[in-house]
Amino acid sequence: MNQDRRSFLGQTGKLLILTASAAVAWEHILAGRPEDAPNYTATDHWWGMAIDIEKCIGCGTCVRACKAENDVPHEDYMFRTWVERYVVDPADLDHPQVDSRNGGYDGFHEREVLDTRLKMFFVPKLCNHCAHSPCVQVCPVGATFESPDGVVLVDKTYCLGCRYCVQACPYGCRFIDPRTETVDKCSLCYHRITKGLTTACCETCPTGARTLADLKDPKDPIHAFLRDHKVQVLKPQMATGSKMYYNGLDGSVR
Amino acid sequence: MPGVEGFIYPNELELQWSVLIVLYPFITGLVAGAFILASLERVFNVEAVKPTYRLALLTALAFLLVAPLPLQLHLGHPERSLEMYLTPHTQSAMAMFGFVYLWYLMVVLVLEIWLDYRKDIVLKWRASTGVTKLVYGAMALWSDNISESALKLDDRIGRALTVIGIPSAFLLHGYVGFIFGSIKANPWWSTPLMPIVFLFSAIVSGIACILLLYFVTCWYRKVPVDMPCVDTIAKYLYYAFLVDFSLEMLDLIHRLYESDESFRALDFMVKTRLFTSQIVLQILLGTVVPLAILGVVQLVRFRHEVRRVLYVLAGSLTLMGIFAMRWNVVIGGQLFSKSFLGYTSYKMAFATKEGLLPAIVLMILPFVILWVLIRLLPPWGHEAGSARSHARG
Amino acid sequence: MKPSGADYTHLIRMAGLFVVGVTAFVLLRWLMVPADFGVYGHYRAGALKDNMARPVMFAGQASCVECHTDVAEVRAAGRHAHVGCEACHGPLAAHAGNPDGAKPVRPDPRKTCIICHTASISKPKTFPQVVPADHAPEGSCVDCHKVHNPKLS
């Protein structure tokens, strides 16, 4: 074989091998790449939400929007997000009257008793996307996890439906979807926030009671929110690292 | 909403864990308890309980084989359950339990039964024909060395296995307790006492089960009951029960005294929805009465016939009481809302995947398996067994 | 009597069985665990993509304003400035993607406006609310209130 042919074969061979390995490497990278959307780097974000109780009017638009956006079953015992109404007697903070008919999907009916002494407000609730999530801790197989950008997600093709995570969640935000026999819960509209949109509930909230927050973005209004308000998370004694920050959360809220 | 009282989080309407998940700790508890009883003879040389040694091991095996079945029926995707072994999440008690189960089944129980029975297996292998011969041959791993030195070796290893087996049995059922006890979201479950309470109630149920099985097998074989044996078993049942009762009372007193945020909701639940299963079935009929019976027997020397009746009564009530305890933990832990403001109810169906019917079938199944095991590996009269094979020549 | 070599035969065979079992397990693991498991944590990395793959139902204000600039200007001048389009008009991603093909239905004021503005003692006092039965029960809200800027017309 003369020198030219040999070098040609050598070069082609190298090219083929490099392309093949690049292809294999690319497959591997693709298999692990979370960025399905252009220009989205997960580690640039740390998602949470700011919820302002003083602005919530209990209209239930967020509940309806979530069910529409995320194809949640319409039964009244399966919600990714819901709104609770609290009626608190200031003399008896330990026994609030709470109701959440159909999760607040239809708004709230007028209460008969117009006792001006009572304190009343609405509390929207959803998955708290805990930084130290007890539900992630107990999953036996790794079907629920916290993404690199702080969103607790469910892998529906991997979930066994053992329901251990439902038991472990202190906030009652998980349920079993009977159509897939796996667990389901608020995903913080991951398919939206990774494309630069906001969550369905925040998008449609008419009063701005719910606002998506990116804690890693120095320009995000969450920083002013946390600084200028007396902020609470639900069940702080559980030390779950909840990232749903409530302004105006009364002590009677469960 | 039907069956709901007060306020519950909307997703809490339906219970997540059904009667099948009540069955699971009950069954694994029987396994651990039966094994502990067997180890009394092997490790602590309590000669009196020797007649129940092999029976206890076979019972433990029969129940352990059935233990994963209620879990499989309960899972939304049982076909994915292998994931627990392939990608176990090491922080999850449930995942690590899969390995504890496997260890206990393969290393402790199967090995120990095999080593203890090996001589009989080989003898049966030599004496049988056809398919039976193949079965026994496989069980002997086609080695027919039952020389004195080989058997002594087996005995030494078997003893070591039992020694490892005791903490393994503790781990087996203590782990189930930890699965519940480590859930901070649920105050009915979350207590460091949970693994220990589960363990001692397991020991109690296992001993009671073997006691009853021994009576049943003696009656079936028309053989007189060995009174020193059952007297000793009843004594150990009594001691274990005292510890178990003390632990449960300690938990109750602690809750009453500290009276934390969950107490009022739980107290109300026990007094209403859980009254029959907790106060009546678990505490009164299932603990106080059997304890009283067993205690009186320690003090007053009744005639054989009377003692036997009392033991059967105490054993049966004990088993019912421990089952009620599992029910109260699993179902009770899901009846109240995590808001502590309301309650839901458990609607147990009959002929569905997780209904009463499969639960009944799963409770009968271990006895069917035990019957097969007893036919294959008779737990009594090994002297008679070898005499029979000698006669055959 | 000390055990001789032959006495260990059955034990060696049992140990062999265990070795076979463990090997089978390792092989099974190698075959069955998804390739992308464990890349970012104890989960299948592909699950992130799966969660991103859901279709979008709400287009988001920015999409609406792209075309409907006139409406957006009217809205910006009034008290509905911060109310998203789809809060009243419902999910419109289909329309945003296919404006002529997927035309949205105009919401009924007597149903839509009522949802937020029905008087309730539970609502914040500063929030504008009316008792529907007392407040112009015969007509439609838009008879007096301009739709996107609810100032009285």
Return the residue in C1, C2, C7, C28 with the most chain B beta carbons within 10 A, the one to mutate for interface testing: C7
- In the predicted model, what is the mean pLDDT of chain C? 90
What residues 9-28 of chain C have any CB closer than 8 A to a CB of chain B?
9-11, 13-14, 17-18, 21, 25, 28
- Judged by DSSP in three states, A214 sits in strand
- Decide if B89 and C13 are in contact by the 8 Å CB cutoff: no
Residue of A nearest to B338 (CA): A170
Q: Confirm whether B203 is domain-assigned.
A: no
Q: Which two tokens stand for residue C11?
A: 């034990």
Q: Which of A17-21, A123-127, C14-18 has the lowest mean pLDDT?
A: A17-21
- C contacts of A107 (beta carbons < 8 Å): 115, 118
Helix (H) or strand (E) holding A178: none
Handedness of CA A99, A105, A107, A109 (dihedral sign): negative
Q: What is the pLDDT of residue A49?
A: 98
Q: What is the pTM of this model?
A: 0.90
List the single best residue of A149, A197, A201, A202 to mutate versus C (max C Cβ within 10 A): A197
The band of A116, judged by pLDDT with boundaries at 50, 70 and 90, is confident
CA distances, B298 to each of B46, B209, B242 (Å): 18, 20, 13
Question: What contacts 24+ positions apart, CB below 8 Å, involve C75-81?
Answer: C75/C148, C75/C149, C77/C149, C78/C146, C78/C148, C78/C149, C78/C150, C78/C151, C79/C128, C79/C149, C79/C150, C79/C151, C80/C148, C80/C149, C80/C150
What pLDDT is stored for residue C1 in this prediction? 64
d(CA A227, CA A230) in angstroms, rounded, equals 8
Among B8, B75, B182, select the one facing A160 at the smallest CB separation: B75
Task: Report the residue of chain C nearest A206, measured CA to CA.
Answer: C83
Shortest Cα–Cα distance, B120 to chain C (Å)? 14
As a whole number of angstroms, the distance between CA B306 and CA B292 comes to 15
- List beta partners, residue A97: A87
The structure tokens listed for B329 are 């933990």
B68 within domain boundaries? yes
Mutate to test the interface with A, among B4, B8, B16, B83 (most CBs of A within 10 A): B16
> Minimal Cα–Cα distance from A247 to chain B, Å?
20
- Please check the confidence at residue A54 and state whether its pLDDT lies above 70: yes
| In contact, C54 and A191? CB cutoff 8 Å | yes
**C-alpha angle with apex C39: C48 to A176, nearest 5 degrees?**
40
φ, ψ at A124 (rounded to 5°) = -75, 140
- Say if domain A48-247 classifies as CATH 3.40.190.10: no
Determine, for residues B95 and A254 on separate chains, whether the beta-carbon distance falls below 8 Å.
no
Strand partners, C44: C37
Whether residue B166 contacts residue B38, with contact meaning beta carbons closer than 8 Å, is answered with no
In angstroms, the Cα distances linking B208 to B51, B200, B329, C63, C138 are: 15, 12, 20, 71, 77
pLDDT at C148 over 60: yes
Which range among A12-16, A55-59, B74-78, C9-13 shows the weakest confidence by mean pLDDT?
Answer: A12-16
Angle at B187 between CA A174 and CA A121, to 5 degrees: 60
pLDDT at B390: 32
| Angle value at C-alpha A140, between A162 and B162, nearest 5 degrees | 105
Tell me, letter by letter, the H, E, C secondary structure of A26-67.
HHHHHHHCCCCCCCCCHHHCCEEEEEEHHHCCCCCHHHHHHH
Mean pLDDT of chain B: 92
* pLDDT at A12 (0 to 100): 67
Reported as half-sphere exposure (CB side, CA atoms, 13 A), residue A66 has a value of 31
- Do the Cβ atoms of B86 and C42 come within 8 Å? no
pLDDT of residue A31: 34
Q: Indicate yes or no: CB of C10 within 8 angstroms of CB of B118.
A: yes
% pLDDT > 90, chain B: 89
CB C148 within 8 A of CB C80: yes
Closest-CA residue of A relative to C39 is: A32
Instruction: Write the pLDDT tens digit of every residue in A99-109.
Output: 999 999 999 97
Distance from CA of B250 to the nearest CA of C (A): 39
Closest CA to B118 of B54, B41, B44: B54
What's the pLDDT band for B297 if we cut at 50, 70, 90? very high
Q: Which of residues 106-145 of C touch A (CB under 8 A)?
A: 115-116, 118-124, 127
Under the banding of pLDDT at 50, 70 and 90, the label for residue A15 is low
pLDDT, position A39: 76
- Please give the span between the terminal C-alpha atoms of chain A, in angstroms, as a whole number: 83
Chains in contact with B, where contact requires at least 3 CB pairs less than 8 Å apart = A, C
pLDDT score of A114: 66
Structural domain total, chain B: 1
**Rounded CA separation B366/B362 (Å):** 7
Q: Give the pLDDT band (50/70/90) at residue A35.
A: very low
ipTM, interface predicted TM-score of the complex: 0.91
Task: Give the separation between CA A159 and CA B123, rounded to whole angstroms.
Answer: 49
Find the residue in B nearest to C7 (Cα). Answer: B150
Q: Is the pLDDT of residue A112 over 80?
A: no
Q: pLDDT tens for residues B253-293?
A: 999 999 999 999 999 999 999 999 999 999 999 999 999 99
Confidence grade of residue A10 (pLDDT, cut at 50, 70, 90): low
Mean pLDDT of A62-82: 97
Residues in C touching A71 (Cβ below 8 Å): 54
- Every domain of chain A and the residues it spans: 1-30, 48-247
Q: Crossing angle of helices B53-66/B194-221, nearest 10°?
A: 120
Amino acid at residue number A7: S
In a domain, B371, yes or no: yes
The verdict on a CB contact (< 8 Å) between B9 and A172 is yes
d(CA C107, CA C91): 12
Q: Does B183 touch chain A (CB under 8 A)?
A: yes
Cβ count within 10 A of residue B286: 23
Residue A123 confidence (pLDDT) above 70: yes
Annotate B80-100 with DSSP letters as a single string. Answer: GTTHHHHS--TT-HHHHHHHH
pLDDT at residue B376 greater than cutoff 60: yes
The pLDDT of B347-365, averaged and rounded, is 95
Mutate to test the interface with B, among A102, A177, A250, A254 (most CBs of B within 10 A): A254
Digit-coded pLDDT (tens) for A143-153: 999 999 999 99
| DSSP assigned state of C152 | B
pLDDT at residue A21 is higher than 80: no
β-strand pairing of B5-6 with B342-343? antiparallel
Chains interfacing with C (3 or more CB pairs < 8 Å):
A, B
Across the B:C interface, residue pairs with CB atoms under 8 Å apart total: 49
For chain A, what is the mean pLDDT? 88
Which of B145, B148, B161 has the most C C-beta neighbours within 10 Å, making it the best mutation to test the interface with C?
B145
pLDDT the model gives residue A16: 61
Q: Measure CB to CB from residue A191 to each of C44, C51, C119 and give the nearest one.
A: C51
**Residue of C39, C58, C116 lying closest to A57 (CB–CB):** C116
List the chains bordering chain A where 3 or more Cβ pairs fall under 8 Å.
B, C
What CA–CA distances, in Å, run from B129 to A251, B88, B133, B136, B143?
78, 45, 5, 10, 17
- Asked if B362 contacts B66 with a C-beta cutoff of 8 angstroms, the reply is yes
The Cα of B42 is separated from the nearest Cα of chain A by a number of Å equal to 36
Quick: pLDDT tens for A155-213: 999 999 999 999 999 999 999 999 999 999 999 999 999 999 999 999 999 999 999 99
Residue B117, in any domain of the structure:
yes
pLDDT band at B384, cuts 50/70/90? Answer: very low
Query: Averaged over B215-243, what is the pLDDT?
Result: 95
Given CB atoms, is B102 within the 8 Å cutoff of chain C? no
pLDDT bucket at A22, cuts 50 / 70 / 90: very low
From B16, B77, B91, residue closest to A167, measured CB to CB: B16
Q: How far from each other are the two terminal CA atoms of chain B, in whole angstroms?
A: 75
pLDDT at site A37: 55
Residue A20: the pLDDT is 52
Which residues does residue C118 pair with via DSSP β-bridges, in sequence order?
C130
Across the interface, whether the CB atoms of A160 and B1 are under 8 A apart is answered no
How do residues B165-209 score in pLDDT, each as one tens digit?
Answer: 999 999 999 999 999 999 999 999 999 999 999 999 999 999 999
User: Confidence band (pLDDT; 50, 70, 90) for B104?
Assistant: very high
User: How many A/B residue pairs have CB atoms within 8 Å?
Assistant: 126
In angstroms, rounded to a whole number, what is the distance separating the alpha carbons of residues A3 and A9? Answer: 10
Helix (H, G, I), strand (E, B) or coil at B382: helix
Residue A24: pLDDT band with limits 50, 70, 90: very low
Q: Is A236 at the interface with chain B, CB within 8 A?
A: no
pLDDT category of residue A34 using cuts at 50, 70 and 90: very low
Type and span of the H or E element at A76:
none
Cβ–Cβ of C1/B82 closer than 8 Å?
no
Residue C14 in this model has a pLDDT that exceeds 60: yes
Residue among C49, C61, C91 whose CB faces A34 most closely: C49
The label of the residue with tokens 């439609």 reads C140
